A and B are shown apart, each in its own frame.
Chain A
Amino acid sequence: MPLPKLLGRAKPADPDHVGEPQLAPIEAAAEAGLTVVDWIDERTALSPGVRWLMFRKVPKGINWAYTLGSATLFAFLNQAVTGVFLAMYYRPDVAGGAYESIRNINDNVFLGQFVHGMHKWGASVMIILIFMHMGRVFFFGAYKYPRELTWIIGVVLLILTMAMGFTGYLLPFDQRSYWATIVGVNINNTGPFIGPYLGDFLRAGPEFGATTLSRFYAIHMLLIPGIMAALIGFHLYLVTKLGISAPPWVKAHEPEAVTEYVEV
Chain B
Amino acid sequence: MNQAEKEQYLREYSLLKNEGKPFFPYAVAKDSMMAVIVMIVIMVLSLLFGAELGPKVNPTTTTYVPRPDWYFFFLFEVLRVMKNVPKFTPFATLGVPTLCMIMLFLLPLYDRNPERLITRRPIALAAGLATIACIAFLTYSGASTGSPNQVTLPPPSGLSASQRATFTAGEVVVGESGCLGCHVIGDNGNNGPGPPLTHVGEILRPGAIASTLRNPTAPMPSFKGLATQSPKKFENLVQFLSMLQ
A250–B16 touching, CB < 8 Å: yes
Inter-chain CA distance A248–B113, complex, in Å, is 13
Q: Which of B34, B46, B94, B109 contacts A71 (CB 8 A)?
A: B34
Inter-chain CA distance A186–B182, complex, in Å, is 13
Instruction: Indicate if A122 sits at the interface (CB-CB under 8 A).
Output: yes
Point out the residues of chain A lying under 8 angstroms from B6, CB to CB.
145-146
A246–B22 touching, CB < 8 Å: no
Instruction: Indicate if A2 sits at the interface (CB-CB under 8 A).
Output: no
Contact with B along A45-64 (1 / 0, CB 8 A): 00000000111111111101
Tally of chain A residues near chain B (CB < 8 A): 94
A254–B117 touching, CB < 8 Å: no
The segment from A32-40, A171-179, A224-232 found at the interface with B is: A171-179
Question: Distance in Å from the Cβ of A104 to the closest Cβ of chain B?
Answer: 11
Q: Which of A127, A184, A243 contacts B71 (CB 8 A)?
A: A127
A121–B45 touching, CB < 8 Å: yes
Point out the residues of chain B lying under 8 angstroms from A58, CB to CB.
17, 20-23, 26-27
The main secondary structure of chain A at its interface with chain B is: helix
A53–B23 touching, CB < 8 Å: yes
Instruction: Indicate if A67 sits at the interface (CB-CB under 8 A).
Output: yes
Beyond A74-B35, A118-B43, A186-B221, whether A59 also contacts B50 by CB under 8 A is no
Q: Which of B13, B42, B65, B70 contacts A118 (CB 8 A)?
A: B42
Instruction: Indicate if B128 sits at the interface (CB-CB under 8 A).
Output: yes
Point out the residues of chain B lying under 8 angstroms from A122, CB to CB.
42
Question: Distance in Å from the Cβ of B77 to the closest Cβ of chain A?
Answer: 12
Instruction: Indicate if B133 sits at the interface (CB-CB under 8 A).
Output: no
B34–A70 touching, CB < 8 Å: yes
Q: Which of A111-137 contact B (CB under 8 A)?
A: 113-125, 127, 129, 135
Instruction: Indicate if B208 sits at the interface (CB-CB under 8 A).
Output: no
Instruction: Indicate if A99 sits at the interface (CB-CB under 8 A).
Output: yes
Point out the residues of chain A lying under 8 angstroms from B66, CB to CB.
179-180, 182-183
Q: Which of A57, A59, A75, A141 contacts B38 (CB 8 A)?
A: A75
Beyond A55-B24, A67-B34, A248-B118, whether A78 also contacts B107 by CB under 8 A is no
Tally of chain B residues near chain A (CB < 8 A): 87
Beyond A103-B53, A114-B47, whether A144 also contacts B221 by CB under 8 A is no
B57–A178 touching, CB < 8 Å: yes
A120–B51 touching, CB < 8 Å: yes
A175–B63 touching, CB < 8 Å: yes
Point out the residues of chain B lying under 8 angstroms from A159, CB to CB.
101
Instruction: Indicate if B146 sits at the interface (CB-CB under 8 A).
Output: no
Point out the residues of chain A lying under 8 angstroms from B49, CB to CB.
117, 121
A141–B121 touching, CB < 8 Å: yes
Residue of B nearest to A151 (CB): B108
Beyond A64-B34, A117-B49, A248-B117, whether A184 also contacts B72 by CB under 8 A is yes
A180–B108 touching, CB < 8 Å: no
Listed in ascending order, the chain B residues whose CB lies under 8 Å from chain A are 1, 5-6, 9-10, 12-13, 15-24, 26-28, 30-31, 33-35, 37-39, 41-43, 45-47, 49-51, 53-59, 62-72, 75, 79, 89-91, 93-95, 98, 101, 104-105, 107-109, 111, 113-118, 121, 124-125, 128, 132, 178, 218-221
Beyond A113-B51, A191-B94, 19 extra complex contacts between A and B, CB < 8 Å: A58-B27, A61-B20, A67-B34, A103-B53, A106-B50, A106-B51, A115-B46, A121-B45, A122-B42, A135-B128, A175-B57, A179-B62, A180-B64, A182-B221, A183-B221, A187-B219, A190-B90, A190-B218, A251-B12
Question: Which 3 A-B pairs rank lowest in CB-CB distance, beginning with the nearest?
Answer: A191-B94, A117-B46, A141-B116
| Listed A/B pairs (18) with beta-carbon separation below 8 Å | A54-B28, A62-B20, A71-B31, A74-B34, A74-B35, A113-B51, A117-B47, A138-B128, A141-B124, A162-B71, A175-B55, A176-B54, A180-B66, A190-B93, A190-B219, A248-B116, A253-B19, A258-B15
